Chains A and B, each alone.
Chain A
Amino acid sequence: MSPDVKEVKKKLRVATTSLAGCFGCHMSLLDIDERLVPLLDLIELDSSPLTDIKHCGPCDLGLIEGGLCNAENVHKLREFRAHCKILVAVGACAINGGLPAQRNHLDIRECLQTVYLTGLGVERGFIPNDPELPLPLKQVHPLHDVVKIDYFLPGCPPSADAIWQFLTDLIAGRTPKLGHGLIHYD
Chain B
Amino acid sequence: MSTEKPRPTFQMDGHDVPFDEGQSILAAALAAGRYVPYLCYHPEFQPHGSCKVCTVKINGRTHASCTTPAHEGDVVESNVDELNDMRKGLVQFLFTEGNHFCPSCEASGNCTLQAVGYDLGMTSAHYSPLFPDRPLDASHPEVLLDFNRCILCELCVRASALVDKKSVFSLAGRGIQKHLVVNAESGKLADTELSVDDKAMSVCPVGVILRKRRGFQVPIGERKYDEHPIREVAVQKQKGE
Contacts and interface: CB of A to CB of B under 8 A. Distances in A.
Interface residues of A, number: 30
B131 A145 contact: no
B103 A98 contact: yes
A116 interface: no
B229 interface: yes
B105 A186 contact: yes
B129 A97 contact: yes
A96 interface: yes
A141 B131 CA distance: 10
B95 interface: yes
Q: SS class of chain B's interface: helix, strand, loop or mixed?
A: loop
A92 B114 CA distance: 13
B124 A156 contact: no
A152 B127 CA distance: 13
A165 to B, nearest CB: 13
**For the side of the interface on B, what is the size category?**
20 to 34
A153 interface: yes
B51 interface: no
A118 interface: no
B129 A151 contact: no
Nearest to A97: B129
B123 A186 contact: no
Of the listed residues A102, A145, A184, the one surrounded by the most CB atoms of chain B closer than 10 A to its CB is A184
Contacts of B109: 186
Interface of B: 95, 100-105, 108-109, 114, 117-118, 121, 123-126, 128-129, 131-134, 220, 226, 228-229
Given A92-B101, A97-B129, A183-B118, 7 more contacts: A95-B125, A97-B131, A99-B103, A142-B124, A149-B124, A154-B123, A186-B108
